[in-house]
Amino acid sequence: MGIRTGAQYIDGLKTRHPEVWLGGKRVDDVYNEDVFRQPIHEIAKLYDMQHDPKYEEQITYVCEDTGERTSHAFKVPKTYEDLKARSTLFEVFARATFGTMGRTPDFLNVTITAMASNSWFLDQYNTEWATNMINYYKYIRDNDLFLTHAIINPQNDRSKASHEQSDEFTHLGVVEDRPDGVVVRGAKMLATLAPITDEVIIYSFPGFKPGDEKHAVAFALPIDTPGLQIICREPMQDGTRSTFDHPLASRFEEMDALLVFNDVFVPKDRIFINQNIEAANLLYPKTGIGQQPAHQSGVRGLVKLQFASEVAARVADSIGVDGYLNVQTQLGELMQSVETIRALLRVSEYEYETTNSGEVMPAATALETIRGMLPKLYPRAIEVIQIIGAGGLLMSPTGADFLNPELRSVTEKYYVGREGITSEERVQLFKLAWDLSGEAFGQRLLQYERYYSGDPLRRLGRFYSTYKRQNTFPMVDEAIKGAKDLEGQLT
């Protein structure tokens, strides 16, 4: 089929009926559910961009296997130019959503591509798993599907392994192994955008322990597979808020969900790992699924950080406080943060690594540095918005107030900004800032940035341990040796 249009994506949603639960009620029609409608259209816009002559060459290429155009996310990078092409795709999609949607289709498409291009790893354990992965990649690529994933266990008793939980299948695991597949039971989270996707892929971070064999699985299924429940978190918006009052939350709500598998059957050809602890623990480091998608996360994070920094600067300008030194230093700090992440991304691309199979990956050290810095830099950007906006962030009237002729003189007089900034312009800007920094929508974005790639403290500890293994810190020895040599000459 090649690249889909937005209409084709929406048509696919209308023909599926996954078991979605929202606010205690079953949602039979996700497209006509207020909470999902506008996010669906934002995703549809991304699909339409693939057909827009302005973006077509930037975000798609002609696939050698099919002769059809497909996303750069599905191309296994072999050169620096391939990495840059991917980076352009990531940036185009991120800018379309101002970096606020972290799980747009390109993210998991890159993940699937990395798994398939490194199927040699699965082949070591079971040739069928490797074949399944390659075939699944082709299926997703050729039909241009949109995936969610769930790779974290529910937060139950974190002091115990999966098999030690009070219910053996609180965490997702295999309850029946059959010749034609497996039956799975239990839950996984955090499936972002799950209600409006086509498929879900299940795998896990490393960390399985002896006894967890039943839980060490990886597979993919259509999102409307019988027995699969999608339990949505409380919405950050109800889908009826005006775009004037909530310019971001009304458009980019990225629903997260708990996935509950009630004895769900997984066909044999959709299994990538089956009850193998070693394979499950090594999937991340051996297939590049931590490294390649981190490229997308880094570009998206850069756009999101830049957006927040621009909002802070425009808020300051709108009320004339960016002439004060304390405000200038705060804004300067944010701009340097943006340029730091931008530089790290360029280093990761320029200092790329090449695997034994010839696949090119962005440099791991630079990407991991981004992962370590963004959970600190983005919250700081939000804090600066809150500091600069101060009480004004809490005092904006509604769009309805501007439409009421009896209030026109009030809104025009008391909500005006510095010279040249109308009251409506100032209020719209402050509403944008509050959506990003104060509303539940913005707080979800903040929490996402802190934890989207795992516990930042553990990641930083692992980063140091890896860095230490790869570096002997030779300048220390050179300094000591130089001092000893000099001491010998003096005596």
Residues in the chain: 491
Q: Which tokens sit at 242?
A: 């005006």
Q: Are 294 and 453 in contact (CB under 8 A)?
A: yes
pLDDT-derived band at 166 (thresholds 50, 70, 90) equals confident
Say yes or no to pLDDT of 489 above 80.
Answer: no
Place of tokens 């939980």: 165
Nearest to 295 by CA among 457, 83, 456: 83
pLDDT in tens, 429-462: 999 999 999 999 999 999 988 887 777 777 788 7
CA-CA distance, 189 to 155, in Å (whole number)? 9
Residue 343 burial class via C-beta count within 10 angstroms: exposed 0-12, middle 13-18, buried 19 and up: exposed
Mean pLDDT of the chain: 93
Nearest to 255 by CA among 490, 4, 23: 23
Question: Residue 54 to residues 47, 94, 236, 281: CA-CA distances in angstroms?
Answer: 13, 16, 33, 42
Angle at 332 between CA 329 and CA 338, to 5 degrees: 150
Q: What is the pLDDT of residue 465?
A: 83
pLDDT in tens, 290-348: 899 999 999 999 999 999 999 999 999 999 999 999 999 999 999 999 999 999 999 99
CA-CA distance, 28 to 16, in Å (whole number)? 9
Q: What is the 3-state secondary structure (H, E, C) of 162-229?
A: HHHCCCCCCECEEEEEECCEEEEEEEEECCCCHHHCCEEEECCCCCCCCCCHHHCEEEEEECCCCCEE
Contacts of 377 (CB under 8 A, 6+ apart): 305, 337, 340, 341
Domains of the chain: 6-287 (2.40.110.10), 292-469 (1.20.140.10)
CA-CA distance, 33 to 36, in Å (whole number)? 6
Kind and range of the H or E run holding 70: strand 69-71
Q: Is the dihedral of CA 81, 84, 90, 94 positive or negative?
A: negative
The DSSP letter of residue 417 is: -
Q: Strands 257-267 and 271-274: what pairing? A: unpaired
pLDDT-derived band at 288 (thresholds 50, 70, 90) equals confident
Q: Strands 19-22 and 228-232: what pairing? A: parallel
Q: Are 71 and 89 in contact (CB under 8 A)?
A: yes
The DSSP letter of residue 239 is: S
Q: Which tokens sit at 363?
A: 């440099």
Strand 257-267's sheet: what is its strand order? 25-27, 19-22, 228-232, 257-267, 181-188, 173-178
Q: What is the pLDDT of residue 247?
A: 94
Three-state SS at 270? helix
Core vs surface per residue 239-271: b (16+ CB within 10 A) or e: eebeebbbbbbbbbbbbbbbbbbeebbbeeebb
Q: What is the separation, in whole angstroms, between the first and last Cα of the chain?
A: 81
Rounding to the nearest 10 degrees, give the CA dihedral for residues 270, 17, 234, 456: 20
Say yes or no to pLDDT of 491 above 60.
Answer: no
Q: What is the pLDDT of residue 300?
A: 96
Q: Are 117 and 74 in contact (CB under 8 A)?
A: no
Q: Are 273 and 125 in contact (CB under 8 A)?
A: yes
Mean pLDDT of 351-375: 93
Say yes or no to pLDDT of 475 above 80.
Answer: yes
CA-CA distance, 444 to 255, in Å (whole number)? 10
Q: What is the pTM of this model?
A: 0.94
Q: What is the pLDDT of residue 22?
A: 96
Kind and range of the H or E run holding 261: strand 257-267
CA-CA distance, 306 to 331, in Å (whole number)? 11
Mean pLDDT of 251-265: 96
Kind and range of the H or E run holding 132: helix 127-143
